[in-house]
Amino acid sequence: MDDPDQPAAPAIQARVAASFERQGLMAHLGARLGHIGPGRVHILLPERPELTQQNGYFHAGATSAIADSAGGYAAYTLFPEDTSVLTVEYKINLLAPAEGDHLEAVGTVLKPGRTLTVCRLDVFGVRGEQRKLIAAGQQTLIQVAGRPER
């Protein structure tokens, strides 16, 4: 695997961005792509009142959704062009209240495979220059051949 801190090839970045734009939930939440590297994708979610729970923290559903998508797209950066990606399972631990100006989900491929790929999921609460790990998890994804995205 290439250095995940480096940007992915332009064609891969375009494929990930086009797929991300088709995700209604990410658009609804106001999430946007950050870094797209080989085996690593960042998704940013700005703070908005609509994304909070009763105590004013980001809702666990929003936290989990961006973590799931970040891991899925991290895997997708390594998949062949004629494939798509689906989540098989994921587990996330909420480590601290999710607060900040925005959340940053980082999906990182731990073990790529021809069929199944395993990713690490980290979500940070970001306020100014401070980043705090607020959630961590792991995910399994499946590479689906011959099923184009809609």
Domains of the chain: 10-145 (3.10.129.10)
What was the pLDDT predicted at 5?
Answer: 84
What was the pLDDT predicted at 2?
Answer: 67
84-140 pLDDT tens trace:
999 999 999 999 999 999 999 999 999 999 999 999 999 999 999 999 999 999 999
Instruction: Output the CA angle 49-51-55, nearest 5 degrees.
Output: 70
pLDDT band at 147 (very low <50, low <70, confident <90, very high): confident
Strand spans (E) along the chain = 32-37, 40-46, 83-94, 102-111, 116-127, 130-145
Length of the chain: 150
The first and second tokens of residue 7, run together, are 């940007």
For 121, other C-beta atoms within 10 Å of its C-beta total: 27
6-38 pLDDT tens trace:
999 999 999 999 999 999 999 999 999 999 999
> Could you tell me if 92 and 63 are in contact, meaning their C-beta atoms sit under 8 angstroms apart?
yes
Burial 93-110 (b: 16+ CB within 10 A, else e): eeeeebbbebbbbbbbbe
> Nearest CA to 149 among 1, 3, 11, 20?
20
Longest dimension (CA), the chain: 45
What was the pLDDT predicted at 1?
Answer: 62
Q: Which amino acid is at 76?
A: Y
Q: Which amino acid is at 98?
A: A
Please tell me the pTM assigned to this model: 0.95
End-to-end CA distance of the chain: give it in Å, rounded.
28
